[in-house]
Amino acid sequence: MSAFWSRIFVAAVGLPVVLGLVWLGGWWMFALLAVAAVLALHELFWLTRTLRPVVIAGYVGALTALLGALLGGLDWTLAGFFATLGVAFIFKGVGGTRGTTTVSVSVTVLGAAWVGLGLAHALLLREIPDHGRLAAITVLLTVWASEAMAYFGGLLFGRHKLAPSISPGKTWEGFVVGSAAAIFTAWIALYKTGFVDGWRSLVLGAVIAVVSPLGDLFESAVKRDMNVKDTGRLLAGHGGVLDRIDALLFSTVAAYYVIAAFGQAS
């Protein structure tokens, strides 16, 4: 099966499952995100293994951030994330494992922040009173629309490289098509809902349109540093779990604070 058709197959099977668990919310969504966090961190820490990340601390920080998001909101999300530092010090500083403490702990904290806080903000979106389901699903659909249309836009019209030194496959034409899709999707999803609708939905879509490819480019930069093409092969043509959620990790955080700025996050 070609990479293109394997991407279609994985999307066709995976998207309904993801949307279903997000629709249910609560512990169902927590379980989905916890599995995604563990798999994504496993890929990241394997990628950066030469830098000696404190793996257990990364897992603890990400999972406690998710648990804090479910049970206590933003404050407990951050409290959970900061557990990363304490656990990393215990296992690295006190344990005296190989590698420099500065590099090892930095990579560990990067993983917990990038993956853990990114996914925790998806849960924070879902926990918004009254409109959490709408918020979370809208952001998911907007990110997916942006990525899919950017891919096809670049395939059909791509001529000018967006960031050739980081990700040679991305083009400005694809970015424009993907941005239009993101703005349109957010507007349609929130049209006359009474929740971040009207011009505010256009702002939300525009922010996701910009931040989503930044998340993708950030992961591409990390992979380029580590001299790899994909973080894994678990999702066939999509690569690894981290390859699939990279844009979402940036977008959920940005979307949550845009919605908070509009006074709709509590």
What pLDDT, on the 0 to 100 scale, is given for residue 3?
Answer: 56
What pLDDT, on the 0 to 100 scale, is given for residue 84?
Answer: 93
Per-residue pLDDT for 96 more than 80?
Answer: no
pLDDT digits (tens, 9 = 90+) for 18-38: 999 999 999 999 999 999 999
What pLDDT, on the 0 to 100 scale, is given for residue 117?
Answer: 97
Average of per-residue pLDDT across 167-196: 94
Taking each helix axis from N to C end, the angle separating 132-157 and 241-261, rounded to the nearest 10 degrees, works out to 120
Per-residue pLDDT for 102 more than 90?
Answer: no
What pLDDT, on the 0 to 100 scale, is given for residue 9?
Answer: 67
Average of per-residue pLDDT across 180-203: 96
Could you tell me which residue, 7 or 74, shows the higher pLDDT?
74
pLDDT digits (tens, 9 = 90+) for 47-76: 999 999 999 999 999 999 999 999 999 999
Per-residue pLDDT for 41 more than 80?
Answer: yes
Of 74-78, 211-215, 236-240, the least confident = 236-240
Per-residue pLDDT for 236 more than 60?
Answer: no
Per-residue pLDDT for 232 more than 90?
Answer: no
Could you tell me which residue, 9 or 250, shows the higher pLDDT?
250
- Tell me the average pLDDT of the chain: 90
What pLDDT, on the 0 to 100 scale, is given for residue 247?
Answer: 94
230 — pLDDT class (breaks 50, 70, 90): confident
pLDDT digits (tens, 9 = 90+) for 160-178: 899 988 888 899 999 999 9
Per-residue pLDDT for 43 more than 70?
Answer: yes
pLDDT digits (tens, 9 = 90+) for 135-160: 999 999 999 999 999 988 988 998 88
The DSSP result for the chain, as a single string, is --HHHHHHHHHHHHHHHHHHHHHH-HHHHHHHHHHHHHHHHHHHHHHTGGG---HHHHHHHHHHHHHHHHHT-HHHHHHHHHHHHHHHIIIIIITT-SS-HHHHHHHHHHHIIIIIIHHHHHHHHHTSTTTHHHHHHHHHHHHHHHHHHHHHHHHHH--SEEETTTEEEEEHHHHHHHHHHHHHHHHHHHTTSSSS-THHHHHHHHHHHHHHHHHHHHHHHHHHHHT-S-S-STTGGG-SHHHHHHHHHHHHHHHHHHHHHTT---
Per-residue pLDDT for 229 more than 90?
Answer: no
